[in-house]
Amino acid sequence: VVWHRADLLDAPAAAEVVAQVRAELLLHLAWDVTPGAFWTAPGNVRWVEASLALLRAFLDGGGARAVLAGTCAEYDWAALQGPCRELGTPLGPHTLYGTCKHATRLVAQALAAQRGASLAWGRIFHLYGPGEQAGRLVPSVARALLAGEPVRTSDGSQIRDFAHVRDVAAGFAALLDSDAQGPVNIATGRPVSVRAVIEAIAAATGNGELIEWGALDRVPGEPPELFADVTRMREEVGFTAGTDLAEGLRETVESWRRGG
């Protein structure tokens, strides 16, 4: 593996590296996903610009296939009925983050199609795993319980799709190696309640009595159910997210027990 370094927000610097490397494949993941801030982070407008500039540079250098990272927040959360399907569920992001992703996909797909290049767009749902930023759900619950501190949660009735970060990474790699084009959900296809996720963390830490269920209201605007149909991933890419949730959460808790 040869590593090249460039600040993708510095478009000329990024274009220079891309021109040197002349890669056949592009897998682009970088956006502003700072926990607690990313939904409204204006920096993601810069990532629209940077992502399109990167894709242009890649195609100009003869690139053949690109995979970019999208989000479940591209779907219209007010119109969800059952699992999110790439080609049937209405799109209509309610956040600046989702809007930036949606707009980038529209232009990236149109540009790639016109240039005769292949492009897929992996829509990430929820994820967890070792190394996650401490402010997010799984680490914040795991670390508090490991420290013997109380955890205030919502009622946990939200239905989500939680994928292990290793499966998400492997899913992107499989998508890059495939011929699938357009949006492809990268998720487990096994919806679960937030309560079940927290209970699995509690089982791994042994301090479940510290959880104060219902102490927090659910976040306004977040849908009661948000989960993925993974037919495209399974049938067109040939990939299934294999990690068992309880096992993955045990592993994640152990990583926090060792200090994160």
Choice from 45, 80, 159, 196 touching a copy of itself (CB under 8 A): 45
The answer to whether 26 contacts a copy of itself (rule: CB under 8 A) is: no
Q: Let me know: does 55 contact 66? Beta carbons within 8 Å.
A: yes
CA-only gyration radius of the chain, Å: 19
* Per-residue burial over 54-66, b = 16 or more CB atoms within 10 Å of its CB, e = otherwise: bbbbbbebebebb
The CB-of-251 to a copy of itself minimum distance in angstroms stands at 38
The CB-of-148 to a copy of itself minimum distance in angstroms stands at 39
* Percent composition of the chain: helix, strand, coil (DSSP 3-state, to 5): 40, 15, 40
The CB-of-141 to a copy of itself minimum distance in angstroms stands at 30
The answer to whether 245 contacts a copy of itself (rule: CB under 8 A) is: no
The answer to whether 165 contacts a copy of itself (rule: CB under 8 A) is: no
The answer to whether 240 contacts a copy of itself (rule: CB under 8 A) is: no
How many residues can be counted in the chain? 260
Shorter beta-carbon distance to a copy of itself: residue 12 or 148: 12
Q: Name residues whose C-beta falls within 8 Å of residue 114's C-beta, 6 or more positions apart in sequence.
A: none
The answer to whether 40 contacts a copy of itself (rule: CB under 8 A) is: yes
| Binding pattern for the stretch 74-113 against a copy of itself, x by CB under 8 A and - elsewhere | ---------------------xx--xx-xxx-xx--xx--
The answer to whether 116 contacts a copy of itself (rule: CB under 8 A) is: no
The answer to whether 46 contacts a copy of itself (rule: CB under 8 A) is: yes
Cα of 26 vs its chain's centroid, Å: 17
Shorter beta-carbon distance to a copy of itself: residue 90 or 224: 90
Shorter beta-carbon distance to a copy of itself: residue 23 or 103: 103
Judging by DSSP bridges, how do beta strands 159-160 and 192-193 pair with one another?
antiparallel
* Per-residue burial over 118-138, b = 16 or more CB atoms within 10 Å of its CB, e = otherwise: bbbbbbbbbbbbbebeeeebb
Shorter beta-carbon distance to a copy of itself: residue 56 or 190: 56
The answer to whether 17 contacts a copy of itself (rule: CB under 8 A) is: no
The answer to whether 11 contacts a copy of itself (rule: CB under 8 A) is: yes
- The DSSP string of 84-148 is B-TTTSPB--SSHHHHHHHHHHHHHHHHHHHHT-EEEEEEE-EEE-TT--TTSHHHHHHHHHHTT
**Residues that bind a copy of itself in the complex, under the rule CB under 8 A:** 11, 40, 42, 45-46, 48-49, 52-53, 56, 95-96, 99-100, 102-104, 106-107, 110-111, 114-115
